[in-house]
Structure formats: C-alpha cells, structure tokens
Amino acid sequence: MTKKPWISLGGIGVFAVLLLAVAPLVLTDHWLNNLGKYCCWAIAAVGIGLAWGRGGMLVMGQGVFFALGAYAMAMHLTLETAGDRVPGFMVLYDPLAPLPMFWEPFRSAGFTLAAIVGLPVVVAGALGYALFKRRVKGAYFAILTQALAVALAVLISSTIRETGGDTGLSDFKYFFGFVLNDPANRLMVYLIAAALLIVCLLAVWQFYRSRFGELLVATRDAEERVRFLGYDPANVKLVAFVVSALMASIGGAMFVPIVGIITPAEIGAAASILMIAGVALGGRASLFGPALGAIAVGWGQSSLGSTWPDGWPYILGLLFIVVILFLPNGLSSLPARFAAARRKPDVPPTPVIAAAELEEVRS
C-alpha cells in the first residue's frame, strides 16, 4: 500500500527522466510522436487506476471524458487553423453555413483550457452524484458508463455538420500559435504530454498515501462499513470518479495535437475498453501499472497492430484473459508474487482484491 512512498516517488523521478530526457534523445520523431500518443492514453489510464483499482468503480466509459477534452481542444485548433472563416468541413454541405453557437467560445484559448478542465468535472460530478447517491455500483455502473460512451460516439457520428461526424476533426496547423509541422514544436507538444503524465502520477501518488487513499480502499472493500464510520461513501467515490474523468479529459486534449485527428472511433466503446485493458494488464491498483500497461498496449497497437493487424486483437484478448485469470492484479504484482513465493514456497498468495460484501453477511 503506502509503505514505501519515497521509493515510489523515486520511481516517478526515474520515469520522468526516461520520458522527458532520454526518450527525446534516442527515439526517432516518428516513435517519439507515438510515445506521446501512448502518454495520452497513460494519463487516462492513471485516472482509471484511481477510480477502478483503488475505488472499485469499473469505469468503462472513460472515452466520454477523453472526448470532452479532445473535442474541446480539436474545436479550438480547428478554429485557429480556419482563422476568420468557418471551418472547411462545415461549408462542404452548405456554403453559407454559420458557425454553430457552441463553437464560438472555443475561439478563446483561455475558454478552451478552462473547458478541458471544467467540462469533465461538471459532467462527472453530476453523473457521479446521481449514480453514487442512488448506490448504483458494480456491473450496473460499468454498463451505464459504457453505454454513455457508445451514445456519445453515435451522437458525434450523426452530427456531421457540427462535429465532423465519423471523419472527425483533423488538419490542425497551429497549436496555440505554434506551427504544428515544426519538429521543435512537435517535441514541445510531446514534452507537455509527458510532463502532464508525470504530474498525474504525482497526483495519484499523493492520493494513495493520503488519508483519502486509505478511505477510498476502505470504501472499495466494504462500502457499508464505511457508512457506519460516519462517512458518506458516495462523496468518497465521487471525488475519485471526478479526478479520473479530469485525467481522461487532459489525456484527450493532448491526444489531438499529437495525433492530429480525433474521431468517434477514438472515444467509443472499443476505445474505452482498450484504455481499461492497459490498466488491467499493468495492474489496476498499483501506482505505475496503469501507465505502463497503457503504454505497452499502445506500443503493441502501433507495432503488431500495423504489421499483423488481423492477429493483434487476438493477442491482446489472449493477454487480457491470461492476466485476469492468473494475475488479477496485473503484471506489476509479479515482483510481490515472486517475493511471496520465495518466502513461503507452499502457501499460494491470495489475491489482494477481495471485497468483503457486508450486505450479504448481514442478517
């Protein structure tokens, strides 16, 4: 748990050096750009680790919050590229089409940044409040969030004139005044994404070692018991859910300038599940597991996914099954397992995540 917080902090430091100093020196522009993309997924994954690994909320629709950040950023970059004119894809269907009302405020850089932070907080806050106060949890919560991701993807697909539909938003030329084609600026964008990932890791590091982190684990394992200690578990879960939504939004926002395009396919059900897959693979309850898992899945996607596109989904699926069956706490639990196996060769280590269902034993 939080026995060795300073070692973890050192780990984040090493990670920061690798991402911010080593990677730009040794990687080609192409792979650095890819790593930037993985960092965006990793930012969302860190949030999933907080909500799911520590909070026990299986957030299957993080694509929704990823989309809020991504589309806010994409709308601003599209307007910046279009200048005083209406974005190209809008006049494709109607040469005299006016700019939709909700696009107008995104001309402002300040509003866009505020929206990237504020929108997920407001949406996740309202959604989480309604769900957690009504004690919606478990599979119901997972399915509901997943359905929202599907619904949002369908909504964007069907509003092609306002949002670009399935083709999405792309061809951004500027990023807050910087020309995106310039390699130096691309490096800067990568460094921002990597730095944000480090900041998110530091944030969850503090969360995990704080009293709130202990309370969150307690809520995950025995929600009713926490209620009888005088806390409202809904509020505890709400905080974790909102923070995870915020991280997904930040990841989405940085995804846009790095990848250069955002479409409903990047935020729908499949994309949301891919984010979860990385977290499960790396170890949902650990500090580094979600981020490293997301980077690994992203890397698999671009290397194996492009050389052997037919086989990649099967490999990912197989990996997922093997991890869930044999390593429920992900690859990051391997060292602890080895250590435990060495100490007590005959006693198999028990899975750490075992929720005491108080409701069931109460008579």
Partner 1 sequence: MTDASLVVTDLRVEFSGFVAVGGVSFDAHPGEVRFLIGPNGAGKTTCIDAITGLTKGTGSARLGDTELLGRPVHKIVRLGVGRTFQTASVFDELTVLQNLDIAAGLHRSSVSLLRARRGVDRSIEQALEETGLAGEPATPAGILSHGQKQWLEIAMLLVQDAKVLLLDEPVAGMSHDERTATGELLQRIAARRIVLVVEHDMDFMRRFATRVTVLHQGRVLSQGTVAEVQADPQVQEVYLGTAGAATTAAMAVVLERED
Q: Are 49 and 277 in contact (CB under 8 A)?
A: no
User: In the set 129, 178, 231, 312, which binds partner 1 (CB under 8 A)?
Assistant: 231
Joined tokens for residue 160: 């092609």
The answer to the question of residue 108 lying near partner 1 (CB under 8 A) is: no
Residue of 31, 178, 207, 299 that binds partner 1 (CB under 8 A) = 207
Exposure letters 299-309 (e unless 16+ CB within 10 A, then b): bbbbeebeeee
268: nearest Cα among 145, 129, 98, 118: 145
Asked if 209 interacts with partner 1 (CB under 8 A), we say yes
Secondary structure (3-state) at 261? strand
Q: Residue 1, interface with partner 1 (CB under 8 A)?
A: yes
344 or 362, CB closer to partner 1?
A: 362
| 351 counts as binding partner 1 under rule CB under 8 A | no
Count of residues engaged in binding partner 1, rule: CB under 8 A: 31
Find, among 89, 228, 59, 232, the residue nearest to 156 by Cα: 89
Given a contact cutoff of 8 angstroms between Cβ atoms, the answer to whether 47 and 196 are in contact is: no
Q: Which stretch binds partner 1 (CB under 8 A): 56-64, 136-144, 217-225, 304-312?
A: 217-225
For residue 59, give the nearest of 1, 134, 141 by alpha carbon.
Answer: 141
Q: Which stretch binds partner 1 (CB under 8 A): 8-16, 34-42, 204-212, 311-319?
A: 204-212
Question: Which positions ≥6 away from 218 have C-beta within 8 Å?
Answer: 225, 226
Q: Is residue 362 involved in binding partner 1 (CB under 8 A)?
A: yes
Region class of 262: left (phi > 0), else alpha (psi between -120 and 50), else beta? beta
Answer yes or no whether residue 107 interacts with partner 1 by CB under 8 A. no
Residue 217 contacts partner 1 per CB under 8 A: yes
Interface region with partner 1, contact rule CB under 8 A, candidates 23-31, 85-93, 208-216, 274-282: 208-216
Q: What one-character DSSP code corresponds to residue 179?
A: E
**Nearer of residues 92 and 352 to partner 1, judged by Cβ:** 352
Q: What does the binding site for partner 1 look like in residue numbers (CB under 8 A)? A: 1-2, 5, 206-207, 209-212, 214-215, 217-218, 221-222, 224-232, 352, 354, 356, 358, 361-363
